[in-house]
Amino acid sequence: MKRFLSLALILMLVITAAAEKKQKKPESQTQAKQEVAPPSPPGEAEPKPYDKVVTPDFKTQAGLFRVHTSKGKVLFEIPNGELDRDLLLVVRLAKSTAERSPFSLLGVRNLIVRWEKRDNRVLLKAISFANIADPNDPVSKAIEAINTPSIMMSFPVEALAADGSPVIEATKLFTSDVNEIPVKTAVRGTDLDPSRSFLEKVRAFPININVEATQTFKPKPEPLPPGFPPQYAELIPPSPSPTAVIFYSFVKLPEKPMMGRLGDERVGYLTHEHTNYSRPEHEAVTRKFIARWRLEKKDPGASKSEPVKPIIFYVDPETPSKWVPYIKAGIEAWQPAFEEAGFIKGIVAKEAPSPAEDPDWSAEDARYSVINWFPSTIVNAHGPHISDPRSGEVLEADVVVYHNLQQLLNDWYWTQAGAADPRCKSLPLPDELIGKTLLFVITHEVGHALGLPHNFKASSLYPIEKIRDKEWVKKNSHVPSIMDYSRFNYVAQPEDGIDPDDLIPKIGPYDTFSIKWGYSPIPGAKTPDEEKPALDEMCKVQETTPWLRYSTAGSNMTDPGDETEAVGDIDAVTATGFGIKNLRRVMDMLPGAVLKPGENYEKLDHMYGVILSQLGLELGHVANIVGGYDSEPKVGPDPGVRFSPLSLERQQAAVKFLNENIFKTPAWLFPTEVLRKIEPSSGQARLLNLQKGVLSDLLSQGRDSRLQEHQAILGDKAYTIALLLADLRDGIFTELKSAAGIKIDPYRRNLQRSYVDILGGRLSAFAAPPALPFGLPVAAMSLTTDDSRGAIRAELKALRTQLTAKATLAADKTTKNHLEDLRDQISQILEPRPAAQTPGPVN
C-alpha cells in the first residue's frame, strides 16, 4: 500500500510539473539554466599519474576493458565508451566446502550493473528493469524515481589513461562483503574474513571480464541437538569456516536487446518478468518473457534456413575421450526440433580447439557455451545459462557434468530397465550403454540451456499400452518430453520386445512442439503483442493431442500425474504393478550381476538399497492418487475446468494396491542369498522405513485437507478421510478378521504400531495448529482445522474396540501383549493421563 501511494504521489508530481512547464513561457530564448556541478567531497584525492599507478609490476590484459594484476591486486581500466553501459554481472560458486554446497557453479546472483564516473570516483550501480515504461510516456519519469539504482560500491579514480579512461583498484569488490551479492548466504556463513580472502585469477576477454576469488567466512553457530543441555554447548565442536572460490563475470549486453517473446503457461519456458506501466490495461501489468537464444535465418524468406549464427556448444577438452561422441550426439539431438522451427542445424556441437589450434580459446570466455566435465564424487548434472533480463535472450550456457554421474546412470538403468535388457546380466554396465544414458542426460541439460524447464506432467500423458508398444516408443519415446524426470522405461516387460535403446528417453513430441513454439519466427510481427495470435493458434493442437501439454499452472503438487521419477503415471497403479514385476526380476538377478570373486559385499549392499529406493519411489506415485486432482492447462474461455477431483473408485483402488504390495509383508524383498550376506538382520528396519514413508504420506494433513475439499465438491461421491482410514485399517490389521488363533508376525507388529503412532502424532499436532506464512497463495494452503481430527479419533476408538475384543483370541503370548499394548496406547492418546511425578530428593 505504501509503495502504491508513493508511486501515485510521484505520478501526480511529475504530471503537475509537466503541465506547469508547458504553460510557463521561457524568459528568453537565449538564456539557459546554468547547472553547477556539486563540489567534490572533502578530502577526495586527485588521480595520480598513470605510470605511478600502473607500474611495471603489473601484468596487463586487454579485453572488454584493460585489467592490470600484481601481487593480489587488480586494477580495472574502464574505457569511457564502456561507462554508463549495461553489463550483466554473474556470480557463482566455483568451489566450496563439500558439506556446505554440494554443487559446483551454483548461481549466487545475476544482476545488471553499470559503471558510472562521478568526479574522481567510479560507482558500481545495480540496475533494475523490473519496472518499465515507454520513454515517451510521462509515467517514465516516475519509473526512474522508483528504479533508482543501488550503489553497490564506490572506487576512487587512481589514475586516468591517456584517453581519459579511469583506472580503479577493484580488489575490494572481490574480497569484502557486498550486500547485493549474497555469497555468505550461499555458503551458510556470517562475516567475511578479509585476512583469509584473496584473488585467485583474473581473465579479460572481448565481451567479458572474469575474476575468481577465494573468500572465507565465519561459520554460523550450529543449533544444539534436541534436548542437549545449553550449559554444555561449548562441548560441541565448532563448525569449520566456510571457504569458497567465487566466480565473477562481467558480461557485455547486446547494444540492441532482442525482441522478447511473451510467455504462455501452456508451454514451459524459463522467464524474466517486467511490470510495464505504459500498457493500455487499467492496472500495472506484469509480463513474462521467455528465455531463448537469438536465432535469425540467413534466408528470411525460406521455410527452413541455416541461422546467421547457430547455437554452438563446445565439449570440454578435459572430458574423457570415450564420452565425447555421446556428448556431441546429445547436443545435436535437438537439431530436428529446430528444423521444425525453421532452422537447419540450429544447434551444433564442436570439440574445443587445442591450444595449437586456438591459443586464446577458453571455456571461461562468455562467447563460448561449454559442456564442462567435473572430477567429482557428486552424482548429478545441471545446465545453467546466462540471459539478458531485458529481453530473455540467452547469451551463454555451461552444462556441468560430474564424473560420478556414471554411477547414478549405472544404478538407475540396471534397476529400472535391467529386466528388459540382456546387457544387464553383469555390473558394471558396458561403456556403450552408459554412453547412451549419458547422451540422454546431456540432451536434458541442454534443454534447460535452451530455456526449457521441467515438464513433470509429460510422464502421465501416454496411455499405458503405448509405453509397452515397441513401434510407438521407437518413434515417440516412452515419455513425450525429455524435460520430465522420467528416467528409464520400468513399465516395459521383457516379453514386449522393445529395442533396449528405446528404453532410454529421447526427444519427444512435446519437446519438438515447445522448440517450434519458442523459436519459430513469426512473419510480419514487429512487437511481442503482434506475435501472440500466431502463438496462441499453435497451442490449439494441445486440445486434441494431450501429450503436447505442459504442467498445469497452479496445481501446487496436487496432480498425481505431475511428479518426478515416474513412467506411466497416467495410471500409477498399473504402472507400478509392472514396475514391481521388474523389480522382482532384478532382485533375482542381483547376486549374479554383482558378486565377483575376492570382492566384499559393499556393491551388493548398495544395489540392494537402490532396488528398495526405486520401490519407494513407485509406491509414492500410487499414494499421490489419494486426494489428487486431474489437471489440464486451459486459458480464457476454454470450456471445462482445469482441476477435477479424482474419483472415489480410483483412490480406493490405490489404497488397495498399497495394502497388497507394501503393507502386506512383501517377502520377495528379503532373499536370503542377499540379505544374509550384507547384514545380520531380518530386514524389519528396511521394510518399516518404506512402510512409514508411505503411511506418513497418506496421512499427512495436506492430503486430509484435499480429501475434505473433495467432499465439498463431490458430496457423497467423494473419497473421505473416514473411508481412507477404514481402508487402511482393513489392510494393516487384516489379522483381526480371524475368528480365533490370531497370530501377528514381527513385520506386521512394527507396521501396526507405526500406524497408531502416526495417528497419535496427528492428534497432538492439533493442540497448536501452525500459523500460515504471510502471503502464502490460498491454493497452496492446507486447512489448519479440518475433519481429520474427528475422523482420526473415531478411527482410534473403533480400532480400540476391535483390539479389546480380539486380544483374548491371540494364539501366542507375544501377539496378546502386542494387542493389549496397542489398546492401552490408543487410550493414552485419546484420554492422556499426566505422567507420574518422581519424588524429589529429601533435604
Q: What is the Cα–Cα distance from 127 to 86, expressed in whole angstroms?
A: 8
| Residue whose cell numbers read 521561457 | 26
Give this prediction's pTM: 0.87
Whether 482 maps to a domain, the answer reads no
Whether 656 maps to a domain, the answer reads yes
Which pLDDT score is estimated for 233? 65
Q: Where does the pLDDT of residue 50 fall: very low under 50, low under 70, confident under 90, or very high at 90 and above?
A: very high
Which DSSP state fits 585? H
Whether 415 maps to a domain, the answer reads no
Q: What is the Cα–Cα distance from 344 to 335, expressed in whole angstroms?
A: 7
In terms of Cβ atoms closer than 10 Å to its own Cβ (0-12, 13-18, 19+), residue 36 is exposed
Count helices and strands (H / E) in the chain: 23, 23
pLDDT tens for residues 186-227? 888 888 999 999 999 999 999 999 999 999 998 887 676 776
Whether 282 maps to a domain, the answer reads no
Whether 68 maps to a domain, the answer reads yes
Helix axes 528-539, 509-519, angle to 10 degrees: 160
Which pLDDT score is estimated for 404? 92
Whether 61 maps to a domain, the answer reads yes
Taking the CA of residue 772 as centre, how many other CA atoms within 13 Å lie in the half-sphere pointing to its CB?
13
* 381-516-563-418 Cα dihedral, nearest 10 degrees: -60
State whether residue 744 is helix, strand or coil: coil
Please determine, for residue 434, whether its predicted confidence score (pLDDT) is greater than 90: yes
Q: Which three cell numbers stand for residue 683?
A: 530386514
Give the residue from 492, 468, 459, 718 showing the smallest Cα distance to 568: 459
Q: Is the peptide bond before 428 cis (omega within 30 degrees of 0)?
A: yes
Helix axes 721-732, 684-698, angle to 10 degrees: 160
Please determine, for residue 379, whether its predicted confidence score (pLDDT) is greater than 50: yes
- Domain enclosing residue 676, as ranges: 634-767+784-833
Rounded average pLDDT over 3-20: 45
In the predicted model, what is the mean pLDDT of the chain? 89
Q: Where does the pLDDT of residue 102 fall: very low under 50, low under 70, confident under 90, or very high at 90 and above?
A: very low
Which DSSP state fits 389? T
How far, CA to CA in Å, does 30 sit from each of 21, 27, 34, 334?
17, 9, 12, 64
Handedness of CA 767, 773, 775, 776 (dihedral sign): negative
Lowest model confidence (mean pLDDT) among 110-119, 312-321, 378-387, 499-508: 378-387
More confident residue, 793 or 109: 793
Please determine, for residue 34, whether its predicted confidence score (pLDDT) is greater than 70: no
Which pLDDT score is estimated for 21? 47
Please determine, for residue 771, whether its predicted confidence score (pLDDT) is greater than 50: no
In terms of Cβ atoms closer than 10 Å to its own Cβ (0-12, 13-18, 19+), residue 359 is exposed
Q: What is the Cα–Cα distance from 229 to 710, expressed in whole angstroms?
A: 47
Which pLDDT score is estimated for 775? 47
Q: What is the Cα–Cα distance from 506 to 275, expressed in whole angstroms?
A: 37
| Residue whose cell numbers read 515447445 | 514
Q: What angle do CA 749, 751, 757 make, to 5 degrees?
A: 105
Query: Which residues on adjacent β-strands are paired with residue 347?
Result: 311
Spell out the residues 6+ positions from residue 380 whose beta carbon is closer than 8 angstroms to its own: 102, 103, 402, 405, 408
pLDDT tens for residues 395-425? 999 898 989 999 999 999 999 999 999 999 9
Give the residue from 384, 448, 387 showing the smallest Cα distance to 93: 384
Rounded average pLDDT over 43-55: 89
What's the structural domain count of the chain? 2
Rounded average pLDDT over 305-314: 98
Which pLDDT score is estimated for 381? 87
Whether 518 maps to a domain, the answer reads no
Task: State the distance between the two ends of the chain, measured CA to CA, in whole angstroms.
Answer: 64
Query: Which residues on adjacent β-strands are paired with residue 113?
Result: 87, 126
Spell out the residues 6+ positions from residue 327 whose beta carbon is closer than 8 angstroms to its own: 315, 319, 349, 371, 401, 438, 439, 442
How far, CA to CA in Å, does 572 sit from each of 460, 476, 545, 677?
9, 20, 21, 33
Q: Where does the pLDDT of residue 836 fall: very low under 50, low under 70, confident under 90, or very high at 90 and above?
A: low
pLDDT tens for residues 700-716? 999 999 999 999 999 99
Please determine, for residue 783, whether its predicted confidence score (pLDDT) is greater than 60: no
**Neighbour count for residue 637 (Cβ, 10 Å):** 5
Whether 289 maps to a domain, the answer reads no
